[in-house]
Structures are given as C-alpha cells and as structure tokens.
Structure 1
Amino acid sequence: MTTDPLRLVVFDCDGTLVDSQHAIAHCMDHAFAQHGLDCPGLENTRTIIGLSLPEAITKLAAPNRIDNALIEAVTAAYKTAFFTLRQTPDFYEPLFPGVRELLAELDRRQWLSGVATGKARRGLDAVLARNELEGRFVTLQTCDNHPSKPNPAMLMAALDETGVDAPNAVIVGDTSYDIEMGRAAGMIAIGVDWGYHDVETLHASGAHAVISHFDDLPDILDKIWEDDRDAA
C-alpha cells in the first residue's frame, strides 16, 4: 500500500495574497523624495515588488547611482513610512479573492502551506494579523534571514522546515522573481495573472502554468503531479 507524499504550497505575499501595490508605491515615493531622489511612481515600483528592499531601491535608483549609505537611508525611510501608513484608519491592503477558500481546500487535502516574501517578518506578521491568518501557514520565510529573490534560499529553508521534497512543492507568485526562485529550488512554479508582472513575463521566466483564480490551483497541481507519477 502506497501513501500520497507530503505536499507543500508556498505563496508569495505582495501581489499574490494581498494587493499592496499602492501602499508600497506611496511609501517608496515618500522615501525617495525625502532623500532628494526622483520618485519612481507606481509603474516603476510595480516592477520591483517582491525583491528585498535594498535590492529594490538599488534597481529603482540605478540612474542616480546611489551609494550604500544612501540605499540604507532610503530603506529606513521606507520602513518608517510604511509603519506610519499602516497605523492610519484608512490603510487598505486587501486580500485577493479566493485566498481563504483555497487555504481551506489545502487543509482538506492535507497539503501544507507557507509564505516566502521579500517583506520583513514584521510586515508579514502585520498582514497576517490584519487578515486573521495567523497560524494558517506552517512555514514563513522573509528577507530578514535570506538573500533576495530569485535566490532560492527561502524556498530551500521552507523545504527543510517541512520535510517536503522539492518535486512535491510549489511556489505560487505574481513575478518573474518568484518563478525563477521556484525553478532554482527544483519546485513547481505557478504564476498568477492578477499581480504585478504580466503573463508573458511569467511564462518566459519558466512558469509551469499561470492561473486566473485561486480556484484553478488544486486541479492544475493534481494534473502536474499525476503526469509526473505516470512518467516515473
């Protein structure tokens, strides 16, 4: 008698679980302006969401060729701005549709779930608390202890923590950084089309599939894993 292997579904946060683009762009513009740099604006900021803050700021400020000290200062200003914004009564960072229903379905299937995000742990904890999702994920990986995406370190740590083999794990994300990270970790990489990188970019980065709603995810994973089993 054989038993199904342990499965793990790891989610990106910004652009996948929550729509945080406007808050991130607002705080990035504030931090850049505070240090006399041209504000990147929403469209440019969308391209770097998912990276750790220092790398994101470096990419956005590349024409200005800022040094490490200024990168650290802008990073600190961004963190302060986001902390302040988060305390305002009208702060808005909604879950995308279908998150809660999908997590319930993963529980029903006894698949584990986790998060791998470029956010700091404090920011991730705030997102989970605001949306009453504390305790819903068995592994939480953030930029505090790992290099920025697309380095696979966060996913390798998630695999180590859960004891799941890479072929039985998936990363679900909205950016090429998520897809490249998943591929580098030997995991299945699924893109979502409601986030901050377009579908063509996700496919070009190596996504096994791109979904339009969380309802689609379980069936797609079932097919991928069934095909892998048949090919073995």
Structure 2
Amino acid sequence: MTQFTHIIFDLDGTLTDNTQGIINSLKYSLQKMHIDDYPENLLDGFIGPPLQWGFSQLFGLNERDTKLAVEYFREFYGENGWHQNVPYDGVLEMIAELDRLGKKMYIATSKLEKYAVQIMEYFEMDKYIIQLKGADYGGEKATKTQIITDLMTMQQLSPSPQIVMIGDTVFDIEGGKANNLSTIAVSYGFGKPEELHAAAPDYFADDVEELYEILSA
C-alpha cells in the first residue's frame, strides 16, 4: 500500500454532510425561478459538480437563467445553507490524528471558496488544513480537475502517487487521475457506488474508519 504524504480531500460528501443546506438552497432558487415540476431526487445530482453544471445540464437552463439561479442559491446558502451541515462520524478525530502523523492536508471543492472556508472554520478543521481551494465566483474554473490543478500549482506540488485525492463522486476520481495522483473513493457520500467503481479508483473506503486505515498506513 502506498504511503501518502499529501492528502487532498473533497468537502461535501467526504468530510461533511451538507445535504440539507444544499437541498434547501436549491429549492429556494428553483422557487424563485418559478420551477416547481421536478422529481425531488433530481436535486441529488447537484452535490459534487459545479452549480452551473447542475442548473444547465439537469434543468436545461440557458446561460442567463443559470447565472440567475446560482445567485438565488447563494442568497439562501450564504445566510442559512452553509451551516446546515455536520461532519461525518469520526472525521474530526481522523483529521487530528493524520495531522499528528505529519500528513500534509488540503481541500479541493467545487463549492464557492468563501463558503467552504466558513464551514472549515465553523468546525475548527481549518487548523489542520494547509490550503483550501474552491470554485471561483463565476464558475469559470469550477471543475474538480482544474481546482486540483490550481491547488497543486499554488503549493508547488508535482504529480506523485504519494499525493492522494479523496472524494465521493466520479468528478473527484477523474480529477485526481487527470492530475496523475492516487485516488480514493468513499461510498458513504453522495456518489453512486456503481459509478465510483467504474471510475476505477486506486482504493475504496466504505466508512471513515476504513479511510483512516488507508491514509495512516
């Protein structure tokens, strides 16, 4: 098993469960857009990829309406949604122990960066994280592949199997592979297990305890 020196975590669905905050923000946005005829489970597809992708691909909104829907989402999320959130069981203890072991830890998330920073500070996880890189406001550099690339460039990290990307969706695994990193898929988040297995991650963790065992080896 590879000994990892640098660990890049996704946020939603990997470290924290922000389901309620995201879903409530989406419902607010869609209501403001006068969109009310949709299956509830369609909203699950927003967790992982950039917001812009969700509104354009899942609801077929044009560029102008997508931008407006994102604004409405952020209006609710910035006030209420970001703290409707909870770390998965064992995550806080895992990060503290990995820090004790000398692991270098980072966050790469498609969430708007300022909200991701608020969440990390709220749960006091920021003291263990060297850098958090999130999506830019306009969504031009919001793909997970680009966010990881930008993080590595800013930290002057070269591709290595000792650097691992961890996430709960295919976007995380594809982003890690595109940057020539090791990858770990977690099944307790929002991704579909069959899609995660098809993405062929190097490792697969069914819970936080199993994830820690892989990372601390």
The residue type equivalent to 1:20 in the other structure is N
Given the alignment, which residue of 89, 112, 124 partners 2:116? Answer: 124
Q: State whether structure 2 residue 29 is matched by structure 1 residue 35.
A: no
Q: CA offset at residue 40 of structure 1?
A: 4.7
Q: State whether structure 2 residue 155 is matched by structure 1 residue 157.
A: no
The residue type equivalent to 1:183 in the other structure is K
Structure ranking higher on relative contact order (CA contacts 8 Å, 6+ apart): 2
SS of residue matched to 1:203:
helix
Given the alignment, which residue of 199, 204, 215 partners 1:205? Answer: 199
CA distance in 2, matches of 1:171, 1:59: 25
Q: CA offset at residue 221 of structure 1?
A: 4.6
- Sort the Cα spacing of 1:12 and 1:180 in 2 relative to 1 into closer, same or farther, 3 A: same
Which residue is equivalent to 2:84? 92
Higher strand share: 2
Given the alignment, which residue of 72, 77, 83 partners 1:82? Answer: 77
Deviations 1:120-147 (A, max 9, x none): 1121122112211223211211111762
Equivalenced residues, count:
213
CA distance in 1, matches of 2:114, 2:195: 30
Which residue is equivalent to 1:220? 214
Q: Is the 8 A contact 1:13 1:116 kept in 2?
A: yes
CA distance in 2, matches of 1:117, 1:179: 13
Q: Identity, % of aligned pairs?
A: 22
Q: Is the 8 A contact 1:28 1:40 kept in 2?
A: no
CA distance in 2, matches of 1:210, 1:50: 18
SS of residue matched to 1:47:
helix
CA distance in 2, matches of 1:76, 1:104: 35
CA distance in 2, matches of 1:81, 1:10: 28
The residue type equivalent to 2:87 in the other structure is L
Q: CA offset at residue 149 of structure 1?
A: 2.7
Q: CA offset at residue 94 of structure 1?
A: 0.4
SS of residue matched to 1:119:
strand
CA distance in 1, matches of 2:93, 2:162: 21
Q: CA offset at residue 39 of structure 1?
A: 5.7
Given the alignment, which residue of 22, 25, 41 partners 1:24? Answer: 22
Please give the TM-score of this superposition, normalised by the length of structure 1: 0.83
Given the alignment, which residue of 56, 60, 71 partners 2:66? Answer: 71
Residues 1-12 of structure 1: matches in 2 within 5 Å?
A: 7-12=5-10
- Sort the Cα spacing of 1:174 and 1:52 in 2 relative to 1 into closer, same or farther, 3 A: same
**Over aligned residue pairs, what C-alpha RMSD do you find?**
2.3
Deviations 1:60-112 (A, max 9, x none): 212xxx2211111111000001122248xxx5310001111211222122110
Max radius of gyration: which structure? 1
Given the alignment, which residue of 136, 155, 158 partners 2:128? Answer: 136
Q: CA offset at residue 222 of structure 1?
A: 6.5
The residue type equivalent to 2:30 in the other structure is F
Q: CA offset at residue 175 of structure 1?
A: 0.7
SS of residue matched to 1:13:
coil
Q: Is the 8 A contact 2:22 2:81 kept in 1?
A: no
SS of residue matched to 2:141:
coil
